[in-house]
Amino acid sequence: MRTFEDDPTLEDLLSADQLQRLNRMLSALCREPVEIGSDRKDGALALEFNLETIGWLAGGSSEQERLAAADLVSFLMMFIAKYRLAANLHHDTTEASYAELQKQNEALKASEARYRALSDQLQEQVDEQVTVIKQAQMDLYESARLRSVGQLAAGVAHEINNPIGFISSNLKVAGEYVNDLREVVPDTRQNRELLDDFTDLLGESSDGARRIASIVSDLKTFSSIDQADYTLCDVNELLASAVHLLQTEYGHDLEILKKPGELPKISGHPSRLSQTFYNLLDNAAQALREQTQESGAEGKAGRILAKTSVDSDGIRVVIQDNGCGIPESIREQVFDAFYTSRPVGSGTGLGLTVARDTVRAHGGSIQIDSREGTGTRVTLLLPVS
């Protein structure tokens, strides 16, 4: 590669046109035509530039004329060469500066890409942390709620247990007294009817008291405030008590079909599992109620199926309803915390969130199949270990 400092040749300094013109002008000054060329001719004078012979000057009428012409050419060459040198140097340095700029540009680009990647990475980490914090907040909220509900339930259960105890035993004694009375009062039709009715009244009251006792017992199971840690749970039992509790809330005309299978006991958190079952049953019941409101009284009968079974994957709990179903548009969001489709104040938006988290905590999974207007099936899979 030629650099600015390479010695210039005649062609570098003058183009063919310019050389011709120079020849003409020199010839005009001399008596005989003068010619500059790169070939040495007889009697030609060397044209020197920078100690370098760059061409030969021939012609002219005498040596003196040639010398004068050569001097003039050398003088001219000096300025042409100066310009060339400066131009070439300028070109070289510009190229070098440009190359350097490009290199810097590349380096900057690379470093920008590095920082961009780093920023993405940081954003990812922040997002991850935010998710973790949200989860922790929700767990905290839920466990606080559970605890307060549990405490309340346990308190109420305890307070109710005693009066129910003596009401039950008093009713029993009262029944015996009625039988005693049968012996002593005159046996008239009116008295008989009165005493039969009395017996029925006491019997129904006893039934009522027994039901109260059973609800209290369910509440205690449900809250399980004393069972903070994992214990061996009977899923069927937990599900039955959740069903029972739901029926108490919605009235006994709510049809819940129970199909409990033979299940092994699994290690789990009873109150959280109960809560999960209750949440799912509650959703089903709400779905049925909504369906009835929409289709009026003549709609098909609402029904909830609560089925358990066991296979190689673990315990399968299916809670299915033929209610309103979940619209396609919100199916993505149903597990989101605080998302609810219910009117303000009637749902926390945590039901399914708690259900999912609980199932995950037990190493299981939850799946929702739903068709709008037809019903919803929730399947929980809890591994047996």
222 is a site residue for another protein (CB under 8 A): no
Measured CA to CA, the distance from residue 259 to residue 272 in angstroms comes to: 22
Residue number, 1 or 301, with CB nearest to another protein: 1
Asked if residue 364 lies in contact with residue 383, where contact means CB atoms within 8 angstroms, the answer is: yes
Q: Give the nearer residue to another protein in terms of CB position, either 3 or 329.
A: 3
Q: Which is nearer to another protein, 5 or 106 (CB)?
A: 5
Minimum distance between the CB of residue 82 and another protein, rounded to whole angstroms?
Answer: 6
90 binds another protein (CB under 8 A): yes
CB 93 → another protein: shortest distance, Å? 4
Q: What is the DSSP letter of 252?
A: T
Contact status: 277 vs another protein (CB under 8 A): no
In the complex, minimum distance from the CB of residue 95 to another protein, in angstroms, rounded to a whole number: 9
CB of 103 to another protein, least distance (A): 12
3-state secondary structure 340-371: CCCCCCCCCCCHHHHHHHHHHHCCCEEEEEEE
Smallest separation, CB 111 to another protein (Å):
22
Evaluate whether 58 touches 33 at the Cβ level (below 8 Å). no
Residue 328 DSSP symbol? G
Residue 82 as a binder of another protein (CB under 8 A): the answer is: yes
86 binds another protein per the rule CB under 8 A:
yes
**Site for another protein (CB under 8 A): how many residues?**
19
Query: Rounded to the nearest whole angstrom, what is the least distance from the CB of residue 80 to another protein in the complex?
Result: 11
Strands 256-259 and 304-311: parallel
Q: Which is nearer to another protein, 30 or 85 (CB)?
A: 85
Which residue lies nearer to another protein by CB, 79 or 188? 79
Q: If binding is defined by CB under 8 A, does position 309 make contact with another protein?
A: no
**What's the rounded Cα separation, in Å, for the pair 235 and 287?**
24
Count of positions (residues) in the chain: 385
Closest approach, Cβ 48 to another protein, in A, equals 8
Q: In this structure, how many other beta carbons lie within 10 angstroms of the beta carbon of residue 346?
A: 8
Residue 81 or residue 310: which is nearer to another protein going by CB? 81
Phi, psi (5° rounding) for residue 271? -70, -35
Question: For residue 181, what are its two tokens?
Answer: 């009375």
Is 92 a binder of another protein (CB under 8 A)? Answer: yes
Residue 252 CB coordination number (10 Å): 8
96: which 2 tokens? 């070098």
- 18 φ, ψ (degrees, to nearest 5): -65, -40
Binding mask 33-72 for another protein (x = CB under 8 A): ---------------xxxx---------------------
> Is 81 near another protein (CB under 8 A)?
yes
Rounded Cα–Cα distance for residues 347 and 291 (Å): 18
To another protein, the closest distance from the beta carbon of 12 in angstroms equals 15
101 contacts another protein (rule: CB under 8 A): no
Are 58 and 41 in contact by the 8 Å Cβ rule? The answer is: yes
Paired strand residues for 380: 317, 366
5 contributes a contact to another protein by CB under 8 A = yes
CA gap 383, 360 in Å, rounded: 10
Nearer to another protein, 96 or 110 (CB): 96
Residue 93 sits in the site that holds another protein (CB under 8 A): yes
Q: Which residues bind another protein (CB under 8 A)?
A: 3-5, 48-51, 78, 81-82, 85-86, 89-90, 92-93, 96-97, 100
